[in-house]
Structure 1
Amino acid sequence: MLEILRPAEYADFRSAALSIFGRLDGDAAVEAFGLDDLLTPSADLDDPRPVLAFLEAQGYHGARTDVLGRFALTGPLPPWGALPAQRRVLAGFTVDTTRFAIPGPIPGSDAVLDIPGAGVVVVADPLAAGRAADEADDYLTVIDPTTAPTTVLATEPLVNDFRADLLARTHLGIAAEILGVCDRLLDDAVAYAGTRRQFGRTIGSYQAVQHILAWAAAERYQLACLFDHATALASAGTLDPALARAVKAMAGRVGHAIVQAATQATGAISFTWEYSVNRLHRRVLTLDAVAGSSADLIAAIGREIRSGDEYPELLDLADLT
């Protein structure tokens, strides 16, 4: 149902990516979707919708590619030093004051890290210097640049003019993945409720379970609306860092709410390795922690509103026509 309420062209990209992830993962999925030529540093990516739809499908399948790290580096970048030749370059994203997360299978790749106060640095072969953020899911590798050899690519003054743009792409990409995970959690929970029987009836026939899943679906729809609005603006040439931050903040909050609803609807099986909720729950937790958690971003937005002279409208619906 959600798909028919979303922009048709974006939904087509998403459907194509979902089909590919049903058969492939990693670089094979990226190649089959045709993203390699779009995902190069400083690429002129006029329309980010194919990449965002791909990331949403990746979240739905719990797949692992390095598209998020490559997508963040598209668009204008500072005039940094020469990047290593013949090596793929991925962006790393902050987890806390000393750690960064790098997405995807990354052997033979280098990580570009934006360290406030230090500028942009590159870490060669971060897989060797890091560890998996989640021992059950090797999608994100966490590294501490203070313990790994780094090379400065751009000093802090050069990075300041480009930081907001880079972070905006990061926030939208992560939100796309979380939205995909939320879709999968709800689809699996609804399927389970339609087959699991208690007292001679499927549990999905009980009003209490229906209410849980209906409220979760409403949360997901709110996130999809805000995400689609931000994506439409970005495809029209307006990448709004404040809006992208709000989308990421909502994605983390909605992700946690849907995990809770799916756990309530599916019961004890959700805590076992044999069922999908456990693995998807962990993916939501790790994605929410990257590039600012929902709690931190909401607090930052609140501080800005409190200290400002007026309360900004998050969406101007007149701009949607």
Structure 2
Amino acid sequence: MRFALSPEQRDFAAALDELLAGSDTPGVAREWAERRFEPGRKLWRELADLGVWGLLVPEEHGGAAAEPVDAVVALEACGYHAVPGPVVETAAVAPRLLGGGELERVAAGESMVTVAIPPEVPRALDADAADVVLRLAGTSAVRLSSDVDSAGRMPSIDAARGLFPVGESGEALGRARPHAYALGVLGVSAQLLGAARRMLAMATEYAAQRRQYGRAIGQYQAVKHLLADVTVRLELARPLVDGAAVTVASGAGEATVLRDTSAAKVAATRAALLAARTSLQVHGAIGYTAEHDLGLWLTKVRALAGAWGTADAHRTRVLTAVRGEHAG
């Protein structure tokens, strides 16, 4: 199977890139880490104008009723530009859990949603910034109080990611639509791809500028090989992410969807971690400094690597699925 974006999807990706490239997202992410949310909310409203938050929302609720592949395009762009906040939860998961007027507010960029799905996702991301806090218990969605005590914020390697424990009680919202968790996994995988691409671009640009012994370090074969290895890993991961999006859209059973989204998460995590390690190696000591933007992506990737299930957990899911298929 050959995966290729349609002209409309490529135009959408270009529009997102143009908006985010001019929005100082590193500055917005740093403000978000200090729990100053207004710059981030402004950016979210601008993304709403491009339809990002309504991609998977049904048309009757003001959304585009688009395919998961379209969401992958948007979330990869968010990862590339380090957009802060519960991006995956709002764009990919909330449409499976909410309905009615609440979804209309999500599509319009007026409602930011965060989700906990114990045990895989035990804490709610940025619950102090979100307008809606949800918990998925089995197949039922529960709306929790959005009045969050900031003192309950738990530490994360990524300062822009605030993690909060969630309670048990709340307002039952009814049965969730299928694949809520799988779409979260798929969304994080897309973010990881975007972050990996950004770090590869930063490393490539730095290698062309930084000179040692009278030559740009990018001219040295060893550096070329490092960057090429990241490129190969990314190209191997992308079809798995796109393929998982197609599987979700196909109406396949839960086991198949979880198998493919787990495989996507494993591949995207491997690519992003290699990109992080390589980019830091190419940048050298400057990459460790808080002032350099590389650090925003390094810490984001480390956090996303364990978000919505660790790589080991997803490998186990894939292995169990494959063994079950062979046994059958």
* 1:73-95 CA-partner distances (Å, limit 9, x unpaired): 45555999x97998836241458
Distance change in 2, residues 1:8/1:83 (3 Å): closer
1:253 partnered with 2:270: yes
**1:212-266 Cα distance to aligned partner (Å, 9 max, x none):** 1100110011111222233345456668332122112221222112111112222
Q: Distance in 2 between matches of 1:7 and 1:193?
A: 30
Once the two structures are TM-superposed, the CA of residue 150 in structure 1 deviates from its matched residue by 3.5
Unaligned runs of 5+ in 1: 313-321
Which of residues 90, 111, 121 is equivalent to 1:70?
90
Question: SS where residue 72 of structure 1 aligns?
Answer: helix
The offset of 1:151, in angstroms, is 0.4
- Secondary structure in 2 matching 1:275: coil
CA RMSD of aligned residues (A): 3.6
CA distance 1:211–1:304, shift in 2 (3 Å): same
| TM-score using structure 2 length | 0.76
**AA at the equivalent of 1:188:** M
- Alignment-derived partner of residue 178 in structure 1: 192
- Are residue 61 (structure 1) and residue 98 (structure 2) matched? no
Change (3 A) 1:95 1:165: closer
Matched, 1:275 2:292: yes
Q: Which residue of 2 aligns with 1:302?
A: 319
Q: CA deviation at 1:296?
A: 1.7
**Alignment-derived partner of residue 7 in structure 1:** 5
- 1:113 pairs with 2:135: yes
The verdict on how the C-alpha distance between 1:181 and 1:93 changes in structure 2, with shifts beyond 3 A counting, is: farther
Q: Retained in 2: the 8 A contact 1:252–1:294? A: yes
TM-score, normalised with respect to structure 1: 0.77
Per-residue CA deviation, residues 89-126 of structure 1 (Å, 9 max, x unaligned), is 6241458678313258825x02111245x953322226
Alignment: residue pair count: 296
Task: Name the SS of the counterpart of 1:88 in structure 2.
Answer: coil
Aligned partner letter, 2:279 = A
Is the counterpart of residue 102 in structure 1 residue 144 in structure 2?
A: no
Change (3 A) 1:260 1:37: closer
Taking the aligned partners of 1:193 and 1:275, their CA distance within structure 2 comes to 15
Q: In structure 1, the residue corresponding to 2:232 is in which secondary structure?
A: helix
* Structure 2 Cα separation of the partners of residues 250 and 208 of structure 1: 24
The aligned residue for residue 301 of structure 2 is: 284
Residues in 2 aligned to 1:122 and 1:175: alpha-carbon distance in whole angstroms: 26
- Judge conservation of contact 2:140–2:173 (CA < 8 Å) in 1: yes
1:137 is paired with a residue whose SS is coil
Flag the 1:135–1:98 CA change in 2: closer, same or farther, 3 A.
closer
Of Structure 1 and Structure 2, the greater strand share is in: 1
Distance 1:205 1:77 in 2: 51
Q: CA deviation at 1:304?
A: 3.8
Query: Residues of 2 paired with 1:50 and 1:305: CA distance?
Result: 28
* Amino acid in the other structure paired with 1:150: S
Higher helix share: 2
- 1:52 Cα deviation after fit: 2.4
Aligned-partner SS, 2:134 = strand
Instruction: Measure, in 2, the Cα distance between the counterparts of 1:221 and 1:205.
Output: 23
1:97–1:229 distance in 2 versus 1, CA, 3 Å? closer
